[in-house]
Amino acid sequence: MRFGTLDINEIAAAAPEIDGYGTEPLSLKNAQVLNVTSEISASGSDALLPPSMNPSIPPYVECTVMVFPESPWGPFSTGELRLVGRAGYRPRARTFKTYVDNPKAAAELARRWGFPVAPGKAQLHLRHERIVVEINDERGRRVLDAEMIDREGISGSDIQYIASMHLVRNRADGKLVLVQVDPDYVFTKVERGFSHFIYIDQEAWGTKGLIKLTNPIISTFAQCEVILPKIRFICDPNQNALLSTVRV
C-alpha cells in the first residue's frame, strides 16, 4: 500500500494555530462554488501528501473557488488548490493554500477550521458558455487561471464534494494534527462542464513543481448554502489515518 511521503516538518511552521476543536457550524447562504479538476502525473506527486494519507489512482487536483456575498465578517471569496487522496477508506484532499480577500474572514477560517489562508483574491466570471476562474495573490500577481466550459444544468444529487484535510497546530497543547473539514451543501442550482486549467503558479502554491497536469476531468458549478462544520475527526499527520483517526 502506498502512502504520502511529504516531510511534515517542511510545512509545520506554516500550519495555522487552531483554537481547539469545539467550533460550531456556520451557515453561509447564497454562495457560488466552482470546482475544476484534472488528473496529474503520478511521478513525484506522493511527496505532496502527508504520510497519513494514501494517493489516489490516478492522482488528481481540484481548484475550488467559493464566493460568499454575506457572512458575519462581510462578503469574501476563497480560492484554493487541493490534491485528492484517501484518509483511511474515504476520499480526502490536502489543501495547499486558501487565498482569501477579507482579513477578518481569513482569521476566522484559520482559527476555527484550520484553513491555510493567504491574502489574495479569487474571482468567478460567469459567461454564457463558460465560467472563468482567476486567483491572484495580495500583490495582484496571477497564481491560477482555469475555466469550466460547455455549461449544462444537472441535479444537486449528482454532486458529492470531497472533504479537506488541514494541517494545524492545536493551541491548547501545541500538537500538530490533520483536521477533517467536511462542509454540508444545500443546492439551489447546479451545472457541470469540462475543466480547462490554463495556468498554475506552482511556486505560489508550494507544490514544488510536482503538479504535472494530464487529463482534464469534469467541472461543477453550484449556487448553494455552504455550512462549515463542527470538527468531528482529527488524525496524526505522520501515521496511517485508518489507525490514528479519532473523533473529537
Distance CA 123, CA 68 (A): 11
**What is the pLDDT at residue 203?**
97
CA dist 144 and 137 (Å) reads: 10
For 17-56, write each residue's pLDDT tens digit.
Answer: 999 999 999 999 999 999 999 999 999 999 999 999 999 9
User: What pTM was estimated for this model as a whole?
Assistant: 0.96
- Which domains are assigned to the chain? 8-247 (2.40.400.10)
Q: Write down the mean pLDDT value for the chain.
A: 96
Structure-derived torsion over alpha carbons of residues 228, 229, 233, 234, reported in degrees to the nearest 10:
40
pLDDT of residue 38: 98
- For residue range 137-196, what is the model confidence (pLDDT) as tens digits? 999 999 999 999 999 999 988 899 999 999 999 999 999 999 999 999 999 999 999 999
- Please list, in sequence order, all residues whose beta carbon lies within 8 angstroms of the beta carbon of residue 32, skipping any fewer than 6 positions away: 65, 66, 67, 124, 221, 222, 223
With a cut of 90, say whether residue 101 has pLDDT above it. Answer: yes
Task: For residues 239 and 248, give the distance between their C-alpha atoms in angstroms, rounded to a whole number.
Answer: 17
pLDDT greater than 90 at residue 99: yes
pLDDT class of 1 with cuts at 50, 70, 90: confident
Q: What is the C-alpha to C-alpha distance for residues 82 and 115, in angstroms, rounded to an integer?
A: 12
C-alpha cell, 115 = 484553513
